[in-house]
Amino acid sequence: MPIVAFIGAGSVVFTRQLLADLFRFPELARLEIRLHDVDPERLAVAEGTARQVAERLGARPTVVATLDRSVALDGAGFVVDMVQIGGVAATRLDLEIPARHGLLQTIGDTTGVGGVFRALRTFPFLTVLLEDMRRLCPGALFLNYTNPMAMNVWWASVVAPEIRTVGLCHSVYWTVHDLCELIGVPVEGTHYRAAGVNHQAWLLEWTRDGESLYPRLDAAIAADPGLERRVRAEMYRRLGFYPTETSEHSSEYLDWFLRSPEQIERFRIEPLQYLGISEENVAGFEHAKRALATGEPLELEEGAAEYAPQVIHSIVTGTVREIHGNVVNRGLIDNLPQGAVVEVPCRVDADGVHPVPMGSIPTQGAALNRAYLSVAELTIEAARTGSRDRVRQAVLADPNASSSLTPERIWALCDELTAAHGDRIQPDLR
């Protein structure tokens, strides 16, 4: 059986779900799981979690927990990355400092100022990790969950183009799942495809028995005035295609919402929401630690919803399935920049992950995607060239930032964030 290395395994709630999804496949019950984290306490909880989940699901994996990344990677067939450089403390800086300058965000992990600085903290780690993979497991499939997804996968394509890399995110699946629940149609048996960029793709196909399900969504929104006070419903109304990320995320990618107190109230947006989510994640870790110490069963969600276990299962068994993945745009979306990272359907089989060319996506969706990709491109160039100006220009290119702050304030904000993050950012950008 292949070796699956979890890098950043101390993200124990997410690790737990990935392991549960893996072990529910009988063919994967004897995998070798290598867990790596730099925090010994979190690593111990991850190991205890893996052993409990395996026992409860009747799996018999080999579980190795190690503080040495080289041990985790040596001979691995799959490398799953879910590292958050700087943890909750860095996330707090990314949200609170811009807010003091008058720039509001909700999550701050994908694009805009929060995405830019999270990327600049993550790129140095990714560079070293991919160098280790070249040396220790060059044929492994790199499955990235770490945000900012598009920037990180793009950076991997720059510094290690020979490493097979796919970015995985559950946003398309859960969007369709939630929409089907809203209109009272089982998600099983529906056909759906989305394309665009991560956290801002567009649901282009959504049918059941050849019938488009969009008219049922229109009826559901018309029947519930409360739904019209959601960011995604407003985006759908204006653009004609439903976006594949939550209203909370989507609100900070545009200049339509957060610069206006009236819009914040109308669309029920909670600025700095991720601070609360981060604290909930910490509480989840503490709960898992206590539960393992007392022998209490950990909560396991039902169903194989995460993509990494499905990808591993398809490659190991030859089972053909379709997922949505984040990959380099090489003829996949005609009206988005080639070489950028896009989110498209991908066919997975024993030979790997095969992106599906989608032609041109709707022009209005592509227009918003290009702004998002401009922020990513400038961030990549900043890290590649060591240009401090490109960092600031990346933030300037963000619609939310540029509609909220003057260029002078953006430069000052970036100076403060750079100083606050210190040596987490590569030396020539400080």
Pick the closest to residue 108 from 123, 118, 120 (CA basis): 118
What are the structure tokens assigned to 308, written together?
């990494």
Contact status, residue 179 vs residue 241, Cβ threshold 8 Å: no
Amino acid identity of residue 223, one-letter, is A
> In this structure, is the dihedral angle defined by the CA atoms of residues 395, 146, 311 and 155, taken in order, positive or negative?
positive
* Residue pair 391/115 in contact by the 8 Å Cβ criterion: no
| Known catalytic membership, residue 287 | no
Residue 324 CB-density burial (10 A; 0-12 exposed, 13-18 middle, 19+ buried): buried
C-beta of residue 202 within 8 angstroms of C-beta of residue 208: no
CA separation, residue 83 to residues 14, 26, 142, 157 (Å): 11, 28, 13, 18
- State how far the Cα of 233 lies from the Cα of 237, in Å rounded to an integer: 6
Q: At CA 204, angle to CA 202 and CA 210, rounded to 5?
A: 150
Nearest to 217 by CA among 227, 231, 226: 227
Torsion sign, CA atoms 341, 331, 210, 350: negative
Catalytic residue among 36, 101, 170, 354, which? 170
Distance CA 262, CA 257 (A): 9
Residues belonging to the active site: 170
